[in-house]
Amino acid sequence: MIDPHVHLRDWDQAEKETLGHGMEVAFRCKIDELFDMPNTNPPLTTEAAIRKRLKDAAHASQDVRYHLWAGVTSDLKQVEEVASLAKTLFPSVIGLKLFAGHSTGNMGLVDEAMQRTVYQTLAKVGYEGMVAVHCEKESLLKSDLEDAHDFSSHSLARPVEAEVASVFDQIQFSEEAGFKGHLHICHLSSIEALRGIEEAKRNHRRISCAVTPHHALLTTEDAKDRSLYAKMNPPLRSETQRSSLFAALLQGRVDWIETDHAPHTLVDKEAGACGIPGFSGLLLLVKQLIEHGASPALLTQLLGGRILQVARLEEREISIPSYDQLSDLSLAASLAYPYDSFSKLRLR
């Protein structure tokens, strides 16, 4: 299986996870290809950092195919340089990542004029690869509704409207800029945003989207249980949103599943850090999709087939664990981390 959205930490965050640990756990879960995100510390925004990360990953595991997303910043020269580097180092550098809202790592480009300029710059230099986007519109966030003692309040502070508006912004800004590349919308948490992406597809845009295990399986009700530490960006949503996204997966309306695997220490989570380990949840989601009638062909597309097409990687077999293996593998994966947001679901 392929997981195209992970945060493997390491370097100045090695206490959260190392490349070796994350890749080992992934491989035990039958995930043999990973796309790592750039909000590391230091971030993957320079040629030196990117080349060092690729070298470190090669030393960390011989079992897992490793790629990374290079981060873009507000420095337009850096955008040009990293776009050129993505061409040179493809497929090791699988594409670019734009944070259209702040999240872990504080790499957000929240100014809309700057977002437009990034797409204009990419169009000017002829970049036609992938740009993955974290969509949350900063001006629609409501930080005053955040209650540090109630993780479910995170969904009030970062409402659905912020995601939907940002998705529509990215579609509009990239089109107006003449961007010829592929736009990927990360970790959808709302069915309304999916409808906007489907409209863009009907208009022949190069665009894709993904759903995470936590947005397909968990809700704000789960976030009320503090022991699950179920706080992430974008947040968990209502049962209506969750069930709609799960149905969309079964209907083949979503391009792929991505975990947004993002481990922290227990101390960090107690302090409100956003992000949860995702490999355990991925296996539980596959199990539930099978129980709801997902065909082998659909699962193959969701867990690697479509990613290979969009990323323009060489076609290969996507191997998915058997139904009987999924629960045991998920439990084993959860034991690799100091907390498990999917534990309640496993007992249902």
Who has greater pLDDT, 81 or 341?
81
Q: Answer whether residue 12 shows pLDDT above 60.
A: yes
The four Cα atoms 87, 17, 339, 27 give a dihedral, to 10 degrees, of 60
Question: What is the mean predicted confidence (pLDDT) over 219-229?
Answer: 95
Q: What is the pLDDT of residues 80-99, one digit of tens each?
A: 999 999 999 999 999 999 99
pLDDT at 25 over 60: yes
**What is the percentage of the chain residues whose pLDDT exceeds 70?**
99
State residue 106's pLDDT score: 75
Kindly report, residue by residue over 256-298, the tens digit of the pLDDT. 999 999 999 999 999 999 999 999 999 999 999 999 999 999 9
- Residue 338, pLDDT score: 82
Q: Are 171 and 183 in contact (CB under 8 A)?
A: yes
- Render pLDDT for 241-261 as a digit per residue (tens, 0 to 9): 999 999 999 999 999 999 999
Q: Name, in order, each residue with C-beta under 8 angstroms of 159's C-beta and a sequence gap of 6 or more.
A: 140, 141, 142
- Exposure b/e, 132-142, CB count within 10 A at least 16 = b: bbbbbbbebbe
347: confidence class by pLDDT, cuts 50, 70, 90: low
Whole-number Å distance between alpha carbons of 140 and 94: 31
Q: What are the sequence ranges of the domains in the chain?
A: 2-346
Q: What percent of the chain has pLDDT over 90?
A: 94
Residue 296 confidence (pLDDT): 97
pLDDT tens-digit readout, 322-340:
999 999 999 999 999 988 8
**Distance separating alpha carbons of residues 290 and 153, to the nearest angstrom:** 32
∠340-304-71 over CA atoms, to 5°? Answer: 75
The pLDDT, as a whole number, for residue 105 is: 65
pLDDT(24) > 60 = yes
Q: Which tokens go with 189?
A: 């948490």
- According to the model, what pLDDT value does residue 195 have? 97
Identity (one letter) of the amino acid at 101?
G
Which position among 260, 268, 328, 340 bears the catalytic label?
A: 260
* 2-346: CATH architecture: Alpha-Beta Barrel (3.20)
Q: What mean pLDDT is reported for the chain?
A: 96
pLDDT by residue (tens digit) across 108-162? 889 999 999 999 999 999 999 999 999 999 999 999 999 999 999 999 999 999 9
User: Any catalytic annotation for residue 144?
Assistant: no
**Whole-number pLDDT of residue 101:** 83
Mean local confidence (pLDDT), 28-46: 97
The whole-number pLDDT of residue 344 equals: 72
Please list, residue by residue across 156-183, b when 16 or more beta carbons sit within 10 angstroms of its beta carbon and e when fewer do.
eebbbebbbbbbbbbbebbeebebebbb
Q: Which residue stretches of 206-238 are H helix? A: 213-217, 220-223
Angle, vertex CA 170, rays to CA 160 and CA 303, nearest 5: 75
